[in-house]
Amino acid sequence: MNAPKQDIQPSAPLSAVILASATVVQSVLAGTSLTEALMQVEPGIRPAVQAVSFHAMRRLGWAKTVKQALIPRKPSNALLDALLLVSFSLLAPEAESASVRYAPHTVVDQAVRATAAKRALAPFKGLVNGSLRRFLREGEALLERLQDSMELKWNHPSWWVQRLQQDYPQDWQSILEAANQQPGMSLRVNRRRATRESVLAAFAEQGIGAQPFDAFGIALDQARPVHEIPGFAEGWWSVQDRAAQLAAPLLDLRDGMRVLDACAAPGGKTAHMLETAVLDMLALDLDAQRLQRVEQNLARLGLSAALRVADVANLDSWWDGRPFDAVLADVPCTASGVVRRHPDIRWLRRPHDISKTAALQARIADALWQVVAPGGKLLYVTCSVFPAEGEKQADAFQKRHPDARRLPAPGQLLPISAPALPAAQQDGFFYALFTKA
């Protein structure tokens, strides 16, 4: 049923990688983010576990549907359930990269070894072995019977698929297809420390393929760890998706402006604005730990801003009464536009989360409008594809504020991935720009 696959030897036995990945997937299914769960993995094995865990998250709908068909009664042991999901995902007809491509018999053997290695799981070796081998024997017929399953086909929760079908009758399939692809890697050159030409030349010397886009963007032909790319420690560039790089230019910043980045962490847009002009910048975030990341990123790039932990909607807790010439409101959202980078998001969200985040966004936008100077600008941004967090939010805001005049901005950007050229790929974002009369 599966085409022959080349065995790729990870840095640890595959059985150990499967078991650790199962622990990660178990944590995600219990509500922990994939990033946080991976931080608990032993560093020596983490790269291999990360590759398998990301693959399992991108194939989770497929694996859940197959597992339920073969094992109708969900195992009471949550770790066993997660181990089965990881193992089935590795038997999917296609693997996203060589790092998770193993021969089917290897997956079965190593999954059984992983089960035996954990005392609480050892009694279930027969279940794991039997169900995986049954899939190898009957997989084609099984998948034929399950072909109408939304989760199997699209690897998203059914409610998510239905919501996109409702919101985007023409584009929902391409949105889901892009979300299931591995993301490209885009950089933004720090014009205060380098030129794009010098950065591209340094990349060429190291044999790193890259393409320029827009004013300061670079798209790598192949993603790689930042410390393997020239200029990271020197602050020549930052990792930032093409869609996210649109924020700073839209505000038309000039030297001397008083600027607020209202939801700043992790600091990519804060840095971009400071690279654009000499600004009196205040960066806020509700999470002190995330604000530390902003400080670290600015230090690496040779930039500085006033940083403050605050609830942006509670003006009395942070605002001194002086208005801002420009406000960036990159508000909390479902992050439905960046699921190709964070495939766990689709499984962590629930249908009611959209209305909850929309209510929070409206509260933040209304509060921030009060701090915008006459003639100043507010840029409303989300990394979401749901119109309730985008166009509908912008329309409602303008109706609530007659003194808000909407200016040209990209509006809804849909995710674009393979087979597009690296420089054309982007996450799903929404932009609305307002000026105060």
Catalytically annotated residues: 383
Whose tokens are 């036995």? That residue is 13
Number of Cβ within a 10 Å radius of residue 74: 13
> In terms of residues, how long is the chain?
437
| Contact present, 366 and 396 (Cβ < 8 Å) | no
Question: β-strands 429-436, 404-413: how paired?
Answer: antiparallel
**Which residue's entry shows tokens 């249908």?**
351
User: What is the C-alpha to C-alpha distance for residues 63 and 370, in angstroms, rounded to an integer?
Assistant: 49
Q: Which helix (H) or strand (E) is 212 found in, with range?
A: strand 210-213
Q: Which pair of tokens denotes residue 313?
A: 């909607």
Measured distance between the N- and C-terminal CA atoms of the chain, rounded to whole angstroms: 65
Please state, in angstroms and rounded to a whole number, the distance separating the CA atoms of residues 274 and 137.
59
Q: CA nearest 250: which of 399, 389, 413, 123?
A: 413
Residue from 166, 233, 190, 186 nearest 429 by CA: 186
Phi first, then psi: give them for residue 45, nearest 5 degrees. Answer: -105, -5
**Of 6, 368, 341, 2, nearest to 178 (Cα)?**
341
Is residue 313 within 8 A of residue 246, CB to CB? The reply is no
